[in-house]
A and B are shown apart, each in its own frame.
Chain A
Amino acid sequence: GDSVTQMEGPVTLSEEAFLTINCTYTATGYPSLFWYVQYPGEGLQLLLKATKADDKGSNKGFEATYRKETTSFHLEKGSVQVSDSAVYFCALGSNTNAGKSTFGDGTTLTVKP
Protein backbone atom coordinates (compact mmCIF):
# COMPACT_ATOMS: atom_id res chain seq x y z
CA GLY A 1 0.00 0.00 0.00
CA ASP A 2 0.91 3.67 -0.06
CA SER A 3 3.42 4.88 2.51
CA VAL A 4 5.47 7.95 3.38
CA THR A 5 8.81 7.89 5.16
CA GLN A 6 9.82 11.16 6.67
CA MET A 7 13.09 12.23 8.22
CA GLU A 8 12.99 11.67 11.93
CA GLY A 9 13.17 14.62 14.24
CA PRO A 10 13.32 16.68 16.18
CA VAL A 11 15.41 19.15 14.23
CA THR A 12 16.95 22.18 15.94
CA LEU A 13 18.50 24.97 13.88
CA SER A 14 19.77 28.46 14.45
CA GLU A 15 18.02 31.35 12.75
CA GLU A 16 19.09 31.82 9.10
CA ALA A 17 20.34 28.25 8.80
CA PHE A 18 19.48 26.04 5.82
CA LEU A 19 16.70 23.51 6.29
CA THR A 20 16.17 20.15 4.63
CA ILE A 21 13.54 17.65 5.72
CA ASN A 22 13.68 14.43 3.74
CA CYS A 23 10.57 12.66 2.50
CA THR A 24 10.31 9.53 0.36
CA TYR A 25 7.17 7.70 -0.67
CA THR A 26 5.84 4.44 -2.03
CA ALA A 27 2.74 4.62 -4.17
CA THR A 28 1.05 3.22 -7.22
CA GLY A 29 0.34 5.58 -10.05
CA TYR A 30 1.17 9.27 -9.91
CA PRO A 31 -0.30 10.78 -6.77
CA SER A 32 -0.09 14.39 -5.70
CA LEU A 33 2.41 15.24 -2.98
CA PHE A 34 1.96 17.76 -0.20
CA TRP A 35 3.75 19.37 2.71
CA TYR A 36 1.60 20.49 5.61
CA VAL A 37 2.62 22.47 8.69
CA GLN A 38 1.08 22.30 12.15
CA TYR A 39 1.53 25.02 14.75
CA PRO A 40 0.83 24.32 18.44
CA GLY A 41 -2.86 23.99 19.20
CA GLU A 42 -3.89 24.11 15.56
CA GLY A 43 -4.78 21.79 12.74
CA LEU A 44 -2.61 21.20 9.69
CA GLN A 45 -2.21 23.88 7.03
CA LEU A 46 -1.12 23.30 3.48
CA LEU A 47 2.39 24.61 2.94
CA LEU A 48 2.95 23.57 -0.67
CA LYS A 49 2.02 20.92 -3.19
CA ALA A 50 3.11 19.28 -6.44
CA THR A 51 0.79 17.34 -8.69
CA LYS A 52 3.12 15.70 -11.19
CA ALA A 53 6.72 14.63 -11.70
CA ASP A 54 9.30 17.45 -11.80
CA ASP A 55 6.79 19.97 -10.43
CA LYS A 56 8.25 22.33 -7.85
CA GLY A 57 5.96 23.53 -5.11
CA SER A 58 6.91 26.71 -3.26
CA ASN A 59 5.48 28.97 -0.58
CA LYS A 60 6.87 31.35 2.06
CA GLY A 61 10.47 30.54 1.04
CA PHE A 62 9.93 26.76 1.29
CA GLU A 63 10.40 24.57 -1.78
CA ALA A 64 10.01 20.91 -2.69
CA THR A 65 10.39 19.11 -6.02
CA TYR A 66 8.45 16.00 -7.02
CA ARG A 67 11.17 13.51 -7.99
CA LYS A 68 9.62 10.43 -9.53
CA GLU A 69 12.92 8.69 -10.20
CA THR A 70 13.92 8.81 -6.53
CA THR A 71 10.32 8.83 -5.19
CA SER A 72 11.19 11.83 -3.05
CA PHE A 73 9.72 15.20 -2.11
CA HIS A 74 12.28 16.83 0.17
CA LEU A 75 11.40 20.13 1.83
CA GLU A 76 14.00 22.92 1.78
CA LYS A 77 14.32 26.49 2.95
CA GLY A 78 17.38 28.64 2.53
CA SER A 79 17.11 30.70 5.72
CA VAL A 80 14.80 29.66 8.54
CA GLN A 81 13.21 32.03 11.04
CA VAL A 82 12.04 31.50 14.61
CA SER A 83 8.47 31.71 13.32
CA ASP A 84 9.08 28.56 11.22
CA SER A 85 9.16 26.46 14.39
CA ALA A 86 6.39 23.90 13.93
CA VAL A 87 5.72 20.28 12.97
CA TYR A 88 6.03 19.49 9.25
CA PHE A 89 4.19 16.60 7.58
CA CYS A 90 4.84 15.12 4.17
CA ALA A 91 1.71 13.61 2.62
CA LEU A 92 0.68 11.51 -0.35
CA GLY A 93 -2.64 12.16 -1.99
CA SER A 94 -4.93 9.38 -3.11
CA ASN A 95 -5.38 8.61 -6.78
CA THR A 96 -9.02 7.81 -6.22
CA ASN A 97 -10.35 9.62 -3.17
CA ALA A 98 -9.46 13.22 -2.43
CA GLY A 99 -10.14 12.90 1.28
CA LYS A 100 -7.77 10.05 1.97
CA SER A 101 -4.15 11.07 2.26
CA THR A 102 -1.24 9.13 3.71
CA PHE A 103 0.95 11.10 6.09
CA GLY A 104 4.50 10.79 7.30
CA ASP A 105 5.18 10.79 11.03
CA GLY A 106 5.95 14.50 11.14
CA THR A 107 9.19 16.36 11.86
CA THR A 108 9.36 18.86 14.68
CA LEU A 109 11.46 21.89 13.80
CA THR A 110 12.71 24.30 16.44
CA VAL A 111 14.53 27.43 15.32
CA LYS A 112 16.57 29.27 17.94
CA PRO A 113 17.40 32.97 17.71
Chain B
Amino acid sequence: KAGVTQTPRYLIKTRGQQVTLSCSPISGHRSVSWYQQTPGQGLQFLFEYFSETQRNKGNFPGRFSGRQFSNSRSEMNVSTLELGDSALYLCASTSGSERSPLHFGNGTRLTVT
Protein backbone atom coordinates (compact mmCIF):
# COMPACT_ATOMS: atom_id res chain seq x y z
CA LYS B 1 0.00 0.00 0.00
CA ALA B 2 1.45 3.35 -1.01
CA GLY B 3 2.16 5.77 1.81
CA VAL B 4 1.31 9.44 2.11
CA THR B 5 2.85 11.42 -0.73
CA GLN B 6 3.69 15.10 -0.48
CA THR B 7 4.83 17.33 -3.30
CA PRO B 8 7.04 19.15 -3.79
CA ARG B 9 9.76 18.13 -1.31
CA TYR B 10 11.42 21.52 -1.33
CA LEU B 11 10.24 25.04 -2.12
CA ILE B 12 11.98 28.39 -2.01
CA LYS B 13 9.74 31.44 -2.14
CA THR B 14 10.07 35.16 -1.58
CA ARG B 15 8.20 37.18 1.03
CA GLY B 16 4.78 38.24 -0.19
CA GLN B 17 4.36 35.35 -2.61
CA GLN B 18 1.90 32.54 -2.17
CA VAL B 19 2.47 28.79 -2.25
CA THR B 20 0.42 25.62 -2.68
CA LEU B 21 1.45 22.28 -1.20
CA SER B 22 -0.09 18.98 -2.19
CA CYS B 23 -0.80 15.77 -0.29
CA SER B 24 -2.08 12.39 -1.44
CA PRO B 25 -3.25 10.24 1.49
CA ILE B 26 -3.12 6.49 1.88
CA SER B 27 -5.79 4.86 -0.23
CA GLY B 28 -9.01 4.59 1.76
CA HIS B 29 -8.09 7.25 4.30
CA ARG B 30 -10.64 10.03 4.41
CA SER B 31 -9.00 12.27 7.00
CA VAL B 32 -6.09 14.49 6.03
CA SER B 33 -4.35 16.80 8.49
CA TRP B 34 -1.61 19.35 8.12
CA TYR B 35 1.09 20.22 10.64
CA GLN B 36 3.82 22.81 10.71
CA GLN B 37 7.16 21.75 12.19
CA THR B 38 9.75 24.31 13.25
CA PRO B 39 12.72 24.07 15.63
CA GLY B 40 11.26 26.71 17.93
CA GLN B 41 7.58 25.73 18.02
CA GLY B 42 7.74 22.00 17.40
CA LEU B 43 4.78 20.36 15.70
CA GLN B 44 1.72 22.54 15.46
CA PHE B 45 -1.65 21.49 14.09
CA LEU B 46 -2.90 23.55 11.17
CA PHE B 47 -6.18 21.91 10.14
CA GLU B 48 -7.93 18.65 9.37
CA TYR B 49 -10.18 17.75 6.48
CA PHE B 50 -12.59 14.85 6.41
CA SER B 51 -14.76 14.05 3.39
CA GLU B 52 -13.98 17.44 1.82
CA THR B 53 -15.02 19.41 4.95
CA GLN B 54 -12.72 21.18 7.35
CA ARG B 55 -13.33 19.42 10.64
CA ASN B 56 -10.86 21.20 12.87
CA LYS B 57 -8.58 24.20 12.71
CA GLY B 58 -5.50 25.20 14.68
CA ASN B 59 -4.45 28.62 15.80
CA PHE B 60 -2.99 29.99 12.57
CA PRO B 61 -3.84 33.19 10.67
CA GLY B 62 -6.24 33.18 7.77
CA ARG B 63 -3.31 33.27 5.32
CA PHE B 64 -3.18 29.51 5.86
CA SER B 65 -5.96 27.66 4.10
CA GLY B 66 -6.63 24.26 2.71
CA ARG B 67 -9.05 22.10 0.85
CA GLN B 68 -9.77 18.48 0.17
CA PHE B 69 -10.98 16.94 -3.04
CA SER B 70 -13.44 14.12 -3.60
CA ASN B 71 -10.56 11.63 -3.97
CA SER B 72 -9.30 12.72 -0.50
CA ARG B 73 -6.24 14.46 -1.91
CA SER B 74 -5.58 17.72 -0.12
CA GLU B 75 -3.88 21.01 -0.81
CA MET B 76 -2.64 23.64 1.57
CA ASN B 77 -2.18 27.24 0.54
CA VAL B 78 -0.23 29.99 2.25
CA SER B 79 -0.70 33.52 0.94
CA THR B 80 1.44 36.60 1.53
CA LEU B 81 4.38 34.58 2.76
CA GLU B 82 6.40 35.79 5.73
CA LEU B 83 9.91 34.79 6.80
CA GLY B 84 8.41 33.03 9.80
CA ASP B 85 6.50 30.67 7.54
CA SER B 86 9.74 28.85 6.77
CA ALA B 87 9.15 25.35 8.09
CA LEU B 88 8.63 21.71 7.31
CA TYR B 89 4.96 21.16 6.45
CA LEU B 90 3.76 17.67 7.19
CA CYS B 91 0.64 16.03 5.92
CA ALA B 92 -0.88 13.08 7.72
CA SER B 93 -3.74 10.78 6.88
CA THR B 94 -5.82 8.46 8.99
CA SER B 95 -8.85 6.29 8.56
CA GLY B 96 -10.90 8.72 10.64
CA SER B 97 -11.35 6.64 13.79
CA GLU B 98 -10.40 8.51 16.96
CA ARG B 99 -8.11 5.65 18.05
CA SER B 100 -6.19 5.44 14.79
CA PRO B 101 -2.62 6.73 14.48
CA LEU B 102 -1.51 9.31 11.97
CA HIS B 103 0.41 8.28 8.87
CA PHE B 104 2.79 11.03 7.81
CA GLY B 105 4.33 12.00 4.52
CA ASN B 106 7.96 13.09 4.29
CA GLY B 107 6.95 16.73 4.25
CA THR B 108 7.54 19.81 2.14
CA ARG B 109 10.43 22.00 3.25
CA LEU B 110 9.41 25.62 2.62
CA THR B 111 12.05 28.34 2.76
CA VAL B 112 10.92 31.97 2.56
CA THR B 113 13.60 34.52 1.70
Contact = CB atoms under 8 A, between A and B. Distances in A.
Interface of A: 32, 34, 36, 41-46, 49, 51, 89, 91, 93-106
A108 to B, nearest CB: 11
Interface string B13-43: 0000000000000000001110000000011
Interface residues of B, number: 30
Interface of B: 4, 6, 31-33, 42-43, 45, 48-50, 55-56, 58, 90, 92, 94-107
B68 to A, nearest CB: 11
Contact of B101 (A41, A42, A46, A102): A46
Nearest to B97: A98
B50 A99 contact: yes
Contacts of B32: 99
19 contacts: A32-B98, A34-B101, A41-B106, A42-B107, A43-B104, A45-B104, A95-B98, A97-B31, A97-B48, A97-B50, A97-B56, A98-B95, A99-B32, A99-B33, A99-B50, A99-B92, A99-B94, A100-B48, A101-B102
Classify the secondary structure of A's interface with B. loop
A61 B12 CA distance: 40
A34 B104 CA distance: 14
A32 B106 contact: no
